[in-house]
Amino acid sequence: MAFSIDTEAVEAMVVKSLVESITPEQREKVITDAISELLEKKSGSRYGSNMSIFEEAMHSAISQVARQIFVEEVRNSPEIQSRMKELVTPTVIAIAKDNFDGINEKIGEAIGGAVADWLRSQKWD
């Protein structure tokens, strides 16, 4: 017989018992402190940012949405793809000429990774 614990239910039970066991004044202080922590600007936080946790989360969400919109625009626009190809091709050629050994190694790693991924995805009898 397998034994499992519903971690979400346990967490909910712990939170409920904590909330019920503290006074309204303590509960208000916990909530106030939590909100202050979210909004407080941190010096030297992740990546040298001086943003609050809330600002970092919003910045991250906005960046993810913008990236997704851009990727979809590029994927669905032959005009953008053509223009990018015009702009990027000379740069890629110049980099390849100047640093073929480094690029050669990265190409080998990419091909090796793709082959390994394909092998892992196969159903072997």
For residue range 1-57, list pLDDT tens digits in order. 677 788 888 888 888 888 788 888 888 888 888 888 777 777 655 556 677 778 888
Give the closest residue to 74 by CA, choosing from 85, 58, 62.
85
- The boundaries of the domain holding residue 86 are 78-125
Query: Residue type at 80?
Result: I
pTM of the full structure: 0.41
CB 53 within 8 A of CB 42: yes
Provide the number of structural domains found in the chain. Answer: 1
Residue 84 covered by a domain:
yes
- Between 16 and 101, the more confident residue is 16
Residue 106 covered by a domain:
yes
Q: Does the structure show a pLDDT above 90 at 79? A: yes
Give the three-state DSSP class for 61.
helix
Q: Which residue has the tokens 């913008």?
A: 66
Residue 37 covered by a domain:
no
- Output the pLDDT for position 118: 86
> Which range (15-24, 48-57, 58-67, 83-92) has the least confidence?
48-57
Residue 86 covered by a domain:
yes
Q: Does the structure show a pLDDT above 90 at 58? A: no
The string of DSSP codes covering 64-88 is HHHHHHHHHHHHH-HHHHHHHHHHH
- Output the pLDDT for position 1: 62
- Output the pLDDT for position 45: 53
Q: Which residues touch 45 (CB under 8 Å, ≥6 apart)?
A: 51, 53, 56
> How far are the Cα atoms of 17, 18, 38, 41 from residue 29, in angstroms, in the given order?
17, 14, 14, 19
